[in-house]
């Protein structure tokens, strides 16, 4: 038990470092290449205000354009503002790329950005984890169902109505708890997105509960018509219940063994990368693969 709690503490420290990391400086340099529009939304279920940042590609054509330009794919990025994930996204998606990027993050009622690891954990975890709750002295966890409902019922309708997007060409990008949330959506709300870029998912959460959700999905479905990119760094925890590498490899093998006819699955272990350093290369490679 002490080893288990120690490992979870270390993972908490890593996740906090990622959450409050300095990657946003680079992100701001890249955002300047794109027009940015920000919306403020409120979720009554979560009692939380959110900033929805929309990064439009250079030369973006609106719905009202007299020309018939193709609709734009959309990439949704979780908890983007202080997170290295968005920094990696903006470094990868160049000035000439045609995707619209939508970042979702926390705010107060006046629209000011709020940094809250507790809210981040609450929104991205699908269940409670007794060890986590005991150690962090909080029970604000396990609200992933409410968060995906917020995305599907409030964020997406706003984006689809306001921007010239292809609502049938949507991608979800998540790292760590964001990767855990991505797999939760894949198995519980799979039609929410067409493509999933899932980096270093926290599959240790709640005694590996995500494997149970995968098994439930497999028992009721014969297909998973999605493009999924799974990845992990070679310098992350390897084995045991908290083993990031073994868990991600196990999830990849399970999905392959299901023989879903329309699943396009890729799995990468990036050499010499840690839980933090793997973010950029995972997103760079993942976006390339799922859009291929």
pLDDT of residue 241: 54
Write out the two tokens for 109: 């009622």
Q: Which domain holds residue 127?
A: 2-290
Q: What's phi and psi for 77, nearest 5 deg? A: -120, 130
The answer to whether 146 touches 43, Cβ cutoff 8 Å, is: yes
Write out the two tokens for 188: 């519980």
Rounded-to-integer distance, Cα 256 and Cα 243, Å: 20
Q: Residue 243, CB half-sphere, CA atoms under 13 Å: how many? A: 10
pLDDT of residue 196: 97
- Read off the pLDDT of each residue in 167-180 and give the average, rounded to a whole number: 93
How many distinct structural domains can be found in the chain? 1
Could you tell me which residue, 55 or 267, shows the higher pLDDT?
267
Rounded-to-integer distance, Cα 233 and Cα 215, Å: 25
The answer to whether 196 touches 184, Cβ cutoff 8 Å, is: no
Write out the two tokens for 19: 């959450």
Q: What's phi and psi for 58, nearest 5 deg? A: -60, 135
- Read off the pLDDT of each residue in 76-98 and give the average, rounded to a whole number: 65
Neighbour count for residue 106 (Cβ, 10 Å) = 21
- Read off the pLDDT of each residue in 11-40 and give the average, rounded to a whole number: 53
Instruction: Tell me the torsion sign for CA atoms 196, 189, 114, 73.
Output: positive
- Read off the pLDDT of each residue in 127-142 and give the average, rounded to a whole number: 80
- Read off the pLDDT of each residue in 231-253 and give the average, rounded to a whole number: 86
3-state secondary structure of 95: coil
Which domain CATH number covers 161?
3.40.50.1820
Could you tell me which residue, 24 or 253, shows the higher pLDDT?
253
């Amino acid at each position: 038990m002490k080893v288990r709690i120690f490992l979870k503490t270390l993972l908490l420290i890593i996740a906090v470092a990622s959450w409050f990391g300095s990657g946003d400086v680079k992100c701001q340099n890249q955002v300047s290449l794109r027009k940015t529009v920000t919306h403020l939304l409120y979720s009554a279920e979560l009692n939380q205000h959110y900033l929805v940042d929309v990064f439009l590609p250079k030369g973006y054509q609106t719905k009202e354009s007299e020309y018939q330009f193709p609709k734009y794919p959309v990439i949704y990025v979780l908890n983007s503002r202080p997170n290295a994930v968005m920094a990696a996204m903006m470094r990868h998606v160049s000035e000439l790329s045609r995707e619209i990027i939508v970042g979702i993050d926390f705010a107060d009622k006046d629209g000011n950005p709020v940094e809250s690891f507790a809210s981040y954990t609450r929104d991205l975890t699908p269940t409670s984890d007794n060890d986590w709750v005991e150690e962090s002295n909080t029970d604000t966890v396990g609200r992933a169902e409410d968060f995906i409902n917020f995305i599907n019922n409030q964020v997406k309708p706003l984006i689809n109505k306001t921007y010239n997007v292809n609502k049938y060409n949507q991608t979800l990008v998540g790292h760590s708890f964001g990767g855990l949330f991505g797999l939760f959506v894949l198995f519980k709300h799979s039609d929410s997105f067409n493509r999933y870029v899932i980096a270093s998912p926290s599959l240790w959460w709640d005694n590996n509960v995500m494997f149970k959700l995968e098994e439930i999905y497999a028992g009721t479905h014969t297909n998973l018509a999605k493009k999924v990119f799974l990845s992990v760094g070679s310098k992350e925890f390897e084995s045991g219940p908290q083993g990031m590498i073994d868990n991600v490899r196990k999830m990849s093998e399970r999905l392959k063994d299901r023989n879903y006819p329309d699943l396009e699955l890729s799995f990468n272990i990036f050499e010499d990368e840690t839980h933090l350093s793997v973010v950029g290369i995972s997103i760079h490679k993942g976006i390339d693969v799922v859009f291929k």
